[in-house]
Structure 1
Amino acid sequence: MTIASPLPLRFTIGARTLFAVRRRLVRVGYNLDDVLRAEALRLPPLDGDGYLVTSLPERHLAATAVALPGSAMMVRQRYSRRYADLAGGFDAYFAAMSSNARSALKRKAKKLDGAATIAVRSYRSADEIAVFHALALPLSRKTYQDRLLGAGLPADPAEMLRLAAADRARAWLLFADGAPIAYLYTPAEGDTLIYAFLGYDPDWAEYSPGVVLQVEAMKTVFAEARFRRFDFTEGDGQHKRQFATGAVDCVDVLLLRPGLANRALVAGLKAFDNAVTLAKRVVPSNFARKLKR
Structure 2
Amino acid sequence: RFRIGERTLWTWKLRLLDVGEAERNQPPWLEFRPQELPQQVDGILCRRLPIGRLPLGLSRQGKWLCYVRGIEKLYFVDIAGSFDAYLRRFSAKRRHNLRRSVRWFAERSHDRPMTIASEPGQMEEFQRLACEISRQTYQDRLLAAGMPRGPEFLAKMQEAARRGMARGYLLWCEGKAAAFAWCTGHGERLNYGVIGYLPEFSRMSPGTTLLYLILESLFQERTFRQFDFGVGEAWYKEAFSTGSEEFIQAMLLPPSLANAVRIRAFQALEALNYHAGRWLDRLGLKRAVKHLLRRAAGAAPGREREPRQEG
TM-score range, shorter chain: 0.7 to 0.9
Within 2, Cα distance between the matches of 1:134 and 1:260? 41
Kindly tell me: are residues 78 and 115 of structure 1, through their superposed partners in 2, closer, same or farther at Cα, counting changes over 3 Å? Answer: farther
- Mapping of residues 92-171 of structure 1, within 5 Å: 92-99=85-92, 101-110=94-103, 112=105, 119-155=113-149, 156=151, 157-171=154-168
1:79 matched to 2:72? The reply is yes
Provide closer, same or farther for how the CA distance between residues 159 and 75 of structure 1 changes in structure 2, counting only shifts above 3 A.
Answer: closer
- Cα separation, partners in 2 of 1:132 and 1:96, compared to 1, 3 Å: same
**Which of 259, 271, 275 matches 1:278?**
275
TM-score, normalization: structure 2?
Answer: 0.69
> What is the Cα deviation at residue 211 of structure 1?
1.0
- For structure 2, the residue ranges without an aligned partner over 5 or more in a row are 286-311
Do the aligned partners of 2:34 and 2:254 also contact (CA within 8 Å) in 1?
Answer: no
DSSP-derived class of the 1:194 partner = strand
Report if the CA contact (8 A) 1:117-1:176 is conserved. Answer: no
Structure 1 unmatched ranges of 5 or more: 1-9, 289-293
User: Counterparts of 1:89 and 1:143 in 2: how far apart (Å)?
Assistant: 34
Aligned to 2:98, the other structure's residue is in SS state helix
Superposition pairs of residues 1-293 of structure 1, within 5 angstroms = 12-16=3-7, 27=16, 29=18, 34=21, 40=25, 42=27, 44=29, 45-47=32-34, 53=45, 55-62=47-54, 68=61, 75-99=68-92, 101-110=94-103, 112=105, 119-155=113-149, 156=151, 157-253=154-250, 273-286=270-283
Taking only the aligned residue pairs, the percentage that are identical comes to 28
CA RMSD, aligned part only?
A: 4.0
| Aligned residues between the structures | 273
Does the 8 Å contact 1:108/1:207 carry over to 2? yes
TM-score normalised by the chain length of structure 1: 0.73
